[in-house]
C-alpha cells in the first residue's frame, strides 16, 4: 500500500510539472534515439555487405598483393606489384593446384573515357569472361568478351548503365567506339543497372580483357588480384594451402613471415567485414551514449531544484508520518520514471527514423538495404535509461530524505 502511494505521489509530481519533465527527459530521448539508429543502420550495412559477399560464392579465393595488413602501418604493404605473370602460369598448372577450377587475373583503375564531345571518369576492370559468372554481371544487350579476345588483346569493352547514359544518352551505344588514353575500344555489351556492390558501383564501370587493360590502358605487368574458384566447397582450404605454397615457390620465399602476398576466402572476408562493422557500430554507439550521461546530469540538476522547491512538501509529509525511506523512494521513482519514459520514446523514435532512412536507401539509392530492428539494443536502451535515472537520482533523493521536518516546514 505504501509503495503504491509513493508511486502515485511520484506520478502526480511529474504530471504537475509536465513541461519541466519533458525538457528533462529530452537528453535521454536523444541518446537512446541515436543509439538505436546507429545500431540499426550499422546492422543494415553489415547485412548488405555480407549478402553481397555471399553472392560471389563460397568457393572463390582471392590472392592479393602485399602481406596481410595487421595494423594501420601495414596498409602501404598492400600497394604492391608482387603478383606477376609467372604466378598466374604456376597457379594454372594442375600439378601445383589440383583443385583449382577457373583462374582469373584482375587489374583495375580509374581513367577518363570519351565519346565525341562527352567525357566521363569510370572505373575500369581488366578481367576474363569468368568475371560475369562470379559477379553475375552478364550483359543484357550484346555479349561478354571471349578467351580469344583476351589472347588477342582485343579492343573491346562492356560498359555499365551509367557510363552508357553519360556518354551516349538515349543513343545506341552497341558497336560504337569509345576512347581511353588515346585508344579506341568497341562497345560489345551493355550491363543492366546493378548499383553498388561491395566497394564498387558497377553502373560506373567498364569491363575489358585484362591483357588489353594491362598493355594499353594501365601500362603495367602485374595484377591487382588473382581470383581462383575451387572445384568444391570441401576443397577450399586445401586449395588455399596449395596456392600459398605455389606462390612462395615462385617468389623464393622460405619464411612465411616474409610473404609478399595474402590469400583470402569468402568466409575470411565475411569475418573481417563483420568484425570491422561491429567494432565501428559499437564505437559510434559509445559516442552516442555520452548524451545519456549528459541527460543523467541534467536529471540530477533538475531533481535537486525540485527538492529545493518542494522543501515544505517534504516537511509536511514527514510531519504526517513519512519516513526517510518513503521520501528517498519517491524521488528515486520520479528519476527512474523520467529516464524510462525517455528510453521508450527514444526507442520508438529511433526505430521510426531508422526505418525511414532504410526506406530511402532502399528505394532512392537502390542499394537493396533492409531495415533491421536491434531487439537487444532496445532492451539495453530501456535498462540503461533506468539505471541512469537510478544513479543520477540517488543524490537528489538522499538530499530530500535527509531534510529535517521542522526546518522544512519553516522553509520559505
Residue 76 lies in a domain: no
pLDDT of 315: 63
Is residue 309 located within the same domain as residue 378? yes
Residue 58 lies in a domain: no
Residue 132 lies in a domain: yes
Residue 64 lies in a domain: no
pLDDT of 254: 86
306 has pLDDT over 70 = no
Residue 69 lies in a domain: no
Residue 339 lies in a domain: yes
Confidence of residue 32 (pLDDT cuts 50, 70, 90): confident
Q: Which residue segment(s) compose the domain that 110 sits in?
A: 81-259
What residues contact 268, with CB distance under 8 A and at least 6 apart? Answer: none
Contact 156, 174 (CB under 8 A): no
Question: Can you tell me the distance from the alpha carbon of 279 to that of 333, in angstroms, rounded to the nearest whole number?
Answer: 35
Phi/psi for 188 (5° steps) reads -110, -5
Phi/psi for 171 (5° steps) reads -75, 160
Chain position carrying cell 543524490? 395
Is residue 88 located within the same domain as residue 232? yes
pLDDT of 2: 57
What residues contact 343, with CB distance under 8 A and at least 6 apart? Answer: 28, 32, 381, 382, 384, 385, 386
Is residue 49 located within the same domain as residue 102? no
Confidence of residue 324 (pLDDT cuts 50, 70, 90): low
Residue 161 half-sphere exposure toward CB, CA atoms < 13 A: 11
pTM of the model: 0.59
Is residue 92 located within the same domain as residue 11? no
Quick: pLDDT tens for 192-225.
Answer: 887 666 556 788 999 999 999 999 999 999 999 9
User: Given 207, 224, 259, which residue is the final one in a domain?
Assistant: 259
Is residue 121 located within the same domain as residue 201? yes
Angle at alpha carbon of residue 330, lines to 395 and 317, rounded to 5°: 105
Question: Can you tell me the distance from the alpha carbon of 333 to that of 318, in angstroms, rounded to the nearest whole number?
Answer: 18
Residue 60 lies in a domain: no
Is residue 116 located within the same domain as residue 150? yes
Confidence of residue 283 (pLDDT cuts 50, 70, 90): confident
Is residue 116 located within the same domain as residue 224? yes
What would the mean pLDDT of 231-254 be, rounded to a whole number? 87
Is residue 124 located within the same domain as residue 46? no
pLDDT of 15: 58
Is residue 122 located within the same domain as residue 190? yes
From the list 207, 222, 209, 188, the residue with the least C-alpha distance to 125 is 207
Quick: pLDDT tens for 86-116.
Answer: 999 999 999 999 988 888 999 999 999 999 8
pLDDT of 1: 42
Quick: pLDDT tens for 40-62.
Answer: 887 777 776 666 655 556 688 88
pLDDT of 77: 47
Quick: pLDDT tens for 150-188.
Answer: 999 999 999 999 999 999 998 999 999 999 999 999 999
Residue 95 lies in a domain: yes
Dihedral sign computed on CA atoms, order 263, 149, 101, 130: positive
Question: Can you tell me the distance from the alpha carbon of 347 to that of 44, in angstroms, rounded to the nearest whole number?
Answer: 17
Higher per-residue confidence, 248 vs 395? 248
Is residue 100 located within the same domain as residue 21? no
pLDDT of 163: 93
Give the range among 37-41, 184-188, 322-326 with minimum mean pLDDT: 322-326
Average pLDDT value over all residues in the chain: 78
Is residue 363 located within the same domain as residue 340? yes
Is residue 134 located within the same domain as residue 167? yes
What residues contact 140, with CB distance under 8 A and at least 6 apart? Answer: 190, 191, 192
User: Given 259, 288, 317, which residue is the final one in a domain?
Assistant: 259
Number of compact structural domains in the chain: 2
pLDDT of 54: 57
| Number of Cβ atoms within 10 Å of the Cβ of 211 | 18
Strands 183-190 and 100-115: unpaired
pLDDT of 72: 45
Confidence of residue 189 (pLDDT cuts 50, 70, 90): very high
User: Given 232, 259, 286, which residue is the final one in a domain?
Assistant: 259
What would the mean pLDDT of 296-314 be, rounded to a whole number? 67
Amino acid at each position: 500500500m505504501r509503495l503504491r502511494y509513493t508511486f502515485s505521489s511520484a506520478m502526480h509530481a511529474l504530471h504537475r510539472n509536465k513541461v519541466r519533465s519533458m525538457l528533462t527527459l529530452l537528453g535521454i530521448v536523444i541518446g537512446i534515439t541515436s543509439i538505436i539508429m546507429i545500431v540499426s543502420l550499422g546492422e543494415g550495412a553489415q547485412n548488405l555487405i555480407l549478402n553481397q559477399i555471399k553472392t560471389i560464392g563460397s568457393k572463390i579465393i582471392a590472392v592479393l598483393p602485399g602481406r596481410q595488413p595487421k595494423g594501420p602501418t601495414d596498409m602501404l604493404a598492400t600497394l604492391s606489384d608482387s603478383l606477376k605473370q609467372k604466378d598466374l602460369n604456376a597457379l594454372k598448372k594442375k600439378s601445383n593446384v589440383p583443385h583449382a577450377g577457373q583462374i582469373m587475373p584482375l587489374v583495375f583503375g580509374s581513367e577518363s573515357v570519351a565519346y565525341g564531345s562527352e567525357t566521363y571518369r569510370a572505373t575500369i576492370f581488366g578481367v576474363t569472361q569468368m568475371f560475369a559468372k562470379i559477379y553475375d554481371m552478364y550483359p543484357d544487350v550484346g555479349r561478354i568478351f571471349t578467351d580469344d579476345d583476351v589472347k588477342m588483346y582485343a579492343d573491346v569493352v562492356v560498359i555499365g548503365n551509367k557510363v552508357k547514359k553519360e556518354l551516349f544518352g538515349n543513343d545506341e551505344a552497341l558497336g560504337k567506339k569509345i576512347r581511353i588514353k588515346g585508344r579506341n575500344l568497341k562497345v560489345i555489351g551493355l550491363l543492366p543497372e546493378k548499383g553498388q556492390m561491395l566497394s564498387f558501383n558497377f553502373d560506373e564501370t567498364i569491363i575489358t580483357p585484362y591483357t588489353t587493360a594491362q598493355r594499353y590502358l594501365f601500362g603495367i605487368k602485374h595484377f591487382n588480384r588473382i581470383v581462383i574458384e575451387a572445384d568444391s566447397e570441401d576443397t577450399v582450404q586445401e586449395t588455399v594451402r596449395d596456392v600459398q605454397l605455389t606462390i612462395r615457390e615462385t617468389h623464393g620465399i622460405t619464411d612465411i613471415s616474409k610473404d609478399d602476398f595474402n590469400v583470402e576466402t569468402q568466409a575470411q572476408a565475411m569475418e573481417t567485414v563483420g568484425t570491422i562493422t561491429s567494432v565501428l557500430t559499437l564505437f559510434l554507439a559509445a559516442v552516442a551514449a555520452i548524451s545519456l550521461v549528459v541527460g543523467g546530469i541534467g536529471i540530477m540538476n533538475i531533481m535537486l531544484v525540485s527538492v529545493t522547491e518542494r522543501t515544505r512538501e517534504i516537511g509536511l509529509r514527514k510531519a504526517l508520518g513519512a519516513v526517510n525511506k518513503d521520501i528517498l523512494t519517491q524521488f528515486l521513482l520520479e528519476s527512474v520514471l523520467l529516464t524510462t519514459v525517455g528510453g521508450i520514446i527514444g526507442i520508438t523514435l529511433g526505430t521510426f527514423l531508422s526505418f525511414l532512412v532504410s526506406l530511402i536507401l532502399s528505394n532512392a539509392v537502390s542499394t537493396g538495404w533492409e531495415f533491421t530492428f536491434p531487439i537487444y539494443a532496445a532492451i539495453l536502451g530501456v535498462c540503461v535509461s533506468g539505471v541512469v535515472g537510478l544513479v543520477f537520482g540517488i543524490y537528489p533523493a538522499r538530499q530530500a530524505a535527509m531534510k529535517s521536518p521542522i526546518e522544512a516546514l519553516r522553509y520559505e
